[in-house]
Amino acid sequence: MIFAANFKMNHTRATTKAYLDVLAQKLVSKCSEDRVFIFPPATALDRYEGDFTIGVQNAYMAESGAYTGEIGLEQLEEFGIKTILIGHSERRDVLGEDQALVAEKFAYFKAQGFEIVYCIGEALEVREKGDEAVMAHLLSQFEGIDLSYEKLIIAYEPIWAIGTGRSATTEEISSTHASLKEHFDRPLLYGGSVKPENIKEITAIDGVDGVLVGSASLDVERFSEMIFA
């Protein structure tokens, strides 16, 4: 099982270090094949010791250069980071990243050998049109994406369930994951209001290979509770 924490624009360098110090101690006693990913804000990127993988929430398609406000390979290599989150709905919808840019970013970091957690999801108005509309929309988000890439992890996050407190039903998750799995053979995570109260129910669903957790991951005790559930 994969447990991934996306801090988004939360935590500082100091609080991230304190969080990871606690998490590292807790994971010492976790003897399993589970994998844990942490995606802190860019200002908190560093080399941390522990049985987890640090990834970056976003990066630009260059080693360095005149790209104000961005970070590139040069900065990531300083901390040995080779994992990236691409395609998150907040970058698509809030920051205007279209599929062409998302695919370009994917191709670049694939060429660099990064492990990629690639996000897809649909808005409520799409979900309300039915399963066929949902699948058409989700599959459109794979345009330009190499689904055979061996370091690819896919995260399905219904946009209407992110940060709302409302998770998709087990039937919705099971049906969507089963349909998606017909198109690729890669690990598939579920994200969208995942929390300690529903973690067992979600991870027990056939076709769910892990979770991508947002707000509920910000507290190390709550995130640890999910890992050890």
**Is 109 annotated to bind ligand?**
no
pLDDT of residue 145: 98
pLDDT of residue 30: 78
**Is 193 annotated to bind ligand?**
yes
Burial of 84 (0-12, 13-18, 19+ CB in 10 A): buried
- Residue ranges and CATH numbers for the domains of the chain are 2-227 (3.20.20.70)
Catalytic residue, from 90, 122, 157, 177: name it. 157
pLDDT of residue 31: 65
Active site residue 88: yes
Burial of 119 (0-12, 13-18, 19+ CB in 10 A): buried
pLDDT of residue 216: 96
**Is 165 annotated to bind ligand?**
no
Catalytic residue, from 11, 88, 90, 122: name it. 88
**Terminal CA-CA length for the chain:** 11
pTM score above 0.85: yes
pLDDT of residue 57: 98
The answer to whether 198 touches 173, Cβ cutoff 8 Å, is no
Alpha-carbon distance values, 57 to 5, 7, 87, 161, 172 (Å): 10, 9, 10, 20, 27
**Is 113 annotated to bind ligand?**
no
The one-letter code for the residue type at 121 is G
List per-block mean pLDDT (blocks of 10 residues) for the chain, which spans 229 residues: 98 98 93 91 97 98 97 98 97 96 98 98 93 96 98 96 80 96 97 95 97 97 96
pLDDT of residue 163: 74
**Is 8 annotated to bind ligand?**
yes
pLDDT tens readout for residues 152-202:
999 999 998 887 777 789 999 999 999 999 999 999 999 999 999 999 999
Q: Which residue has the tokens 């970070």?
A: 71
